[in-house]
Amino acid sequence: MDLSLDRLSQGLGLPPQKVERWISQGKIPVRQEGSSCSFNQSALERWAQAHHLTFSLPDTNKKKIEPVLPLENLLPAMKRGGVYYDIEGQTIEEVLQYAVEGLIGLQDGSKKTLVKRLIEREELTSTGIGKGVAIPHPRVPLSDMGEKPLLYTCFLKDTINFNSVDDKPVSVLFILLSPSTKSHLHLLSRLAFCVRDDAFVSFLKTVPEAELLYKEISKFEDQLDRT
């Protein structure tokens, strides 16, 4: 069977960059030629199960309809979500529970759904991207979360093990809720650009006030817009 890398990644619920890296390392039973990936469905499903993942074959005959909206940058999404401090919890599940309970702009029913989806996503693979930062998000956009993206910044009371790629404990969560996959990837890319900068990570460790954080994000977005 042949699928594009993006659709294969969607079926596994993993970032395309990680799937492509695993293919090049021979860790996954998939052969890549350009942007096309060839695999045996049964073999891939067995591999996914052995690695505590799931593989759901994307519906190639029915295109998912997502809202067509102009892409927003980090700053408006971050201001819309807000900044939160002293989030309690000693485990991933506890921290996500406490964080979501305090988020503004969400109904109680939506919060329960969101916690469940965030935990399900972490069980697939950690959203801890390293340097003490994690970006929890649902595996797929949630239809009842509104038409505009939300980026909630949560500073934890205590650092916790988040199974991050560099094994460093996490002290900051950026909970990302997007109305579409395109919006999600756009914001994730811009946020990753910020976190790659060690000075920005050091700035986060000072637990800055919201307005100072917004100013710092604005500087990075100016850099991105100039490139």
Residue-wise pLDDT tens digits, 92-130: 999 999 999 999 877 777 898 899 999 999 999 999 999
**Pairing outcome for strands 128-130 and 83-87:** unpaired
What is the structure's pLDDT at 61?
47
9-40 residue pLDDT tens = 888 888 888 888 899 889 999 988 877 888 88
Please report which confidence band the pLDDT of residue 63 belongs to, taking 50, 70 and 90 as the band edges: very low
CB 107 within 8 A of CB 89: no
- What's the CA gap between 56 and 69, in Å, rounded? 27
Which of 173, 158, 160 is closest to 78 using CA atoms?
Answer: 173
- What's the CA gap between 177 and 183, in Å, rounded? 9
Which tokens sit at 173? 């969560």
Structure pTM? 0.69
